[in-house]
Amino acid sequence: MGSEFERIANIRRRASRPAGAVRLGIGDDAAVLHPESGFETVVSTDLLVEDVHFDLSWSTPELLGRKALAVSLSDMAAMGAIPRAAFLSLALPSKLDDEYLDAFFSGFLGLGDRFGVTLAGGDFSSTSGPFIVNVAITGEVEAERALRRSGAQPGDLLFVSGSLGSSAAGLRQLQSGMTLDTASTGMDLDAIRSHVAPSPRVELGRALVLTGAATAAIDLSDGLSSDLRHLCDESGIGAVVEASLLPTHFSLEDALHGGEQYELLFAVPPALVQRIELIAHQLKTELTRIGRFEHPGAGVWLERDGRGEVLEPRGWDHFRS
């Protein structure tokens, strides 16, 4: 097994050289970033813990490395930002050897190359506990144009990208012992792949900023019911979700409350719906209206079978039993 400094040297050889916003990357005490004129810097961080966010038996190291970056890229997508630099810190248990680490970085760096993200630094530590992955990411967005959770207005329409509930269904399949190699149907395979290899909606986030079509956005990391509540709380308004409109091949419960979907949930003024239709066509992405925003104090509701009921936030919460 390589030493800490041998591992760092190997990663430095494999990581992209400084480019664009990254003026100085791996090799010094800190990186040097230089945002493009007229843009603002966007920063996010995510923590993944073994047996909380992932199980080593469910995923190849390449897919885990890919997912570690995808989760952070989804935050950039929700803000409409161009991802620029990533910083990766790992607490490594002794059970993970150099071969595992090399494969993990293949997944991480491969997805980074796809989106033009430079690995600009990070840290290593050994641990007697679980494998811990921390990713910090920076991006850029046009000044005062970042998508926020606080911009939705009463009368705006509620849209979501892609299909809902597949990651939750995939997690159940993995917990039952199914894997990517043993999935017996295309639906099972797609569900598992959705969980272990999510695709961040970076291009969609950029399109929403450049066209001005969305007034607010959030990524679906905790589940529709919880993340919609965040959007409503920050915007100070209510919302109604129409169950019959939810794009899903799985159960209503999965679509409403299943986490780790990493689709975008966003608000669109009715007058700008044609822009959304054009974006969907250009990106070949399913964008579905699933409800509407209501006046302040209206609460968050689910309409199904002609009746309304309060939509409780029952998505993922680390501190709820």
Confidence of residue 96 (pLDDT cuts 50, 70, 90): very high
One domain for residues 104 and 202: no
Residue span of the structural domain in which 136 resides: 4-142
- DSSP letter for each residue of 27-59: TBSS-EE-PPTTEEEEEEEEEEEBTTTB-TTTS
Q: What mean pLDDT is predicted for residues 85-95?
A: 96
**What pLDDT does residue 320 have?**
63
Confidence of residue 22 (pLDDT cuts 50, 70, 90): confident
**What pLDDT does residue 185 have?**
77
Q: What percent of the chain has pLDDT over 70?
A: 93
Residue 80 three-state SS? coil
In a domain, 315, yes or no: no
In a domain, 48, yes or no: yes
Task: Decide: 238 and 300 in contact? Cβ < 8 Å.
Answer: yes
One domain for residues 85 and 201: no
* Radius of gyration of the chain measured on its C-alpha atoms: 20
**What pLDDT does residue 92 have?**
95
**What pLDDT does residue 229 have?**
97
One domain for residues 41 and 89: yes
One domain for residues 82 and 138: yes
**What pLDDT does residue 179 have?**
84
Cα dihedral 76, 79, 84, 86 sign: negative
Q: Which residue among 111, 142, 173 closes a domain?
A: 142
Q: Which residue among 113, 142, 171 closes a domain?
A: 142
User: How many Cα atoms occupy the beta-carbon half-sphere of 38 within 13 Å?
Assistant: 1
Work out how many domains the chain is built from and give that number. Answer: 2
Output the pTM of the full model: 0.93
CATH number of the domain within which 28 lies:
3.30.1330.10
Task: Decide: 213 and 268 in contact? Cβ < 8 Å.
Answer: yes
Between 34-38, 62-66, 132-136, 182-186, the lowest mean confidence (pLDDT) is in 182-186
Beta strands 82-92 and 118-126 are parallel
CATH number of the domain within which 219 lies:
3.90.650.10
For residue 96 the two structure tokens come to: 């993970």
One domain for residues 210 and 303: yes
Q: Quick check: 321 pLDDT over 60?
A: no
